[in-house]
Amino acid sequence: MLERFSISLEQDLLKKFDRHLRSHKYGTRSEAIRDLIRKSLVKEEWDADEEVVGVISLVYDHHQRRLQDRITDAQHDYHHRVISTTHIHLDHDNCLEVIIARGNAGRVKELSERLTALRGVKNGSLSAASTGRHIH
């Protein structure tokens, strides 16, 4: 059920908010506000070390010696948390591996940091997703 409430904002802040809403293609202010609230709830889950879902992306050098083994070893060490791994051969030199992990935020971050720090990983990122429990 939807509830309505009104918000008071300084003009300047409202202008900035409307710009944000246009650049992010929101249809209405309500949808933009709902998203901001959900984002901040997800951030709270991560900050409080709750159970989260994280999407780890790695772009790395296919020719780096033993790197693929190290990436696989790390995932075996966290095998209770890794729920999916997709490997894409981007081109002759580069691979992309996307790892979805579920568990306490601290452990998911730990895995992401371990993978990203490996020599030969050119780009590593962790996208903070949610289990969905707290953001209906």
Question: Judged by CB under 5 A, does residue 122 bind Ni ion?
Answer: no
Question: Judged by CB under 5 A, does residue 105 bind Ni ion?
Answer: no
**Beta strand segments in 10-93, E:** 51-61, 82-89
Nearer to Ni ion, 67 or 111 (CB): 67
Among 53, 82, 95, 126, binds Ni ion (CB under 5 A): 95
Among 89, 122, 133, 134, binds Ni ion (CB under 5 A): 89
Give the Cα separation of 9 and 36 in Å (integer).
15
> Which residue is listed with tokens 């772009």?
59
- 3-class secondary-structure state, position 5: coil
- Structure tokens given for 98: 């996307």
Helices 67-77, 105-116: axis angle to 10 degrees equals 170
Sketch the per residue contact string, 33 through 72, with Ni ion: x for CB under 5 A, - otherwise: ----------------------------------------
Residues making contact with Ni ion (CB under 5 A): 89, 95
